[in-house]
Amino acid sequence: MQRYFVEPMHMREQEVTITGDDVNHIVRVMRSRIGDEVICCNGQGRDVRGTIEAIEPDAVHIRILEEGLKNRELPVQVTIAQGLPKGDKMEWVIQKGTELGAFSFCAFTSSRTVVKLDTKKEAKRLERWQKIAKEAAEQSHRSVVPHIGNVQSWRELLASASGFHYAVLAYEKEESATFGRVLADMPPGSKLLVVIGPEGGFDEKEVAEAEAAGFAAVSLGKRILRAETAPLYALSCVSYRFEQ
- 212's CB contacts (< 8 A; 6+ apart) are none
Tell me if 8 contacts ligand SAH by CB under 6 A: no
Q: Give the range of 87-95, 99-107, 131-139, 215-223 binding ligand SAH by CB under 6 A.
A: 215-223
* Beta-sheet strands, E only, within the chain: 3-5, 15-18, 37-41, 47-56, 59-66, 77-83, 104-108, 147-148, 166-170, 191-196, 216-218
Contact between 181 and ligand SAH by CB under 6 A: the answer reads no
Report yes or no: 105 and 148 within 8 Å, Cβ to Cβ: yes
Return d(Cα 87, Cα 69) in angstroms, integer. Answer: 37
Q: Is 5 in the site for ligand SAH (CB under 6 A)?
A: no
Told to check if 168 binds ligand SAH by CB under 6 A, we report no
Of the residues 153, 224, 236, 240, which one makes contact with ligand SAH according to CB under 6 A: 224
3-class DSSP state for residue 67?
coil
- Residue 135 CB, nearest approach to ligand SAH (Å): 26
Q: Which of 196, 207, 235, 238 binds ligand SAH (CB under 6 A)?
A: 196
For residue 96, which of 80, 76, 77 has the smallest C-alpha distance? 80
Query: Binding ligand SAH by CB under 6 A: which of 32, 190, 219, 239?
Result: 219
Asked if 163 touches ligand SAH (CB under 6 A), the answer is: no
Interaction between residue 220 and ligand SAH (CB under 6 A): yes
How many Cα atoms occupy the beta-carbon half-sphere of 21 within 13 Å?
A: 5
| CA angle at 203 for the pair 199 and 205, rounded to the nearest 5° | 150
Q: Could you say whether residue 227 binds ligand SAH (CB under 6 A)?
A: yes
Is there binding between residue 177 and ligand SAH (CB under 6 A)? no
Other CB atoms within 10 Å distance of the CB of residue 69: 17
Shortest approach of ligand SAH to residue 140 CB, angstroms?
24
The residues, any chain, with a CB within 8 Å of residue 12's CB and separated by 6 or more, are none
| Residue in the shown chain whose Cβ atom is closest to ligand SAH | 197
The yes or no reply on residue 207 touching ligand SAH (CB under 6 A) is no
Q: Which of 225, 239, 241, 242 contacts ligand SAH by CB under 6 A?
A: 225
Q: Which one of residues 45, 163, 200, 214 is an interface residue with ligand SAH (CB under 6 A)?
A: 200
Residues interacting with ligand SAH, by CB under 6 A? 170-172, 196-197, 200-202, 219-221, 223-225, 227, 230
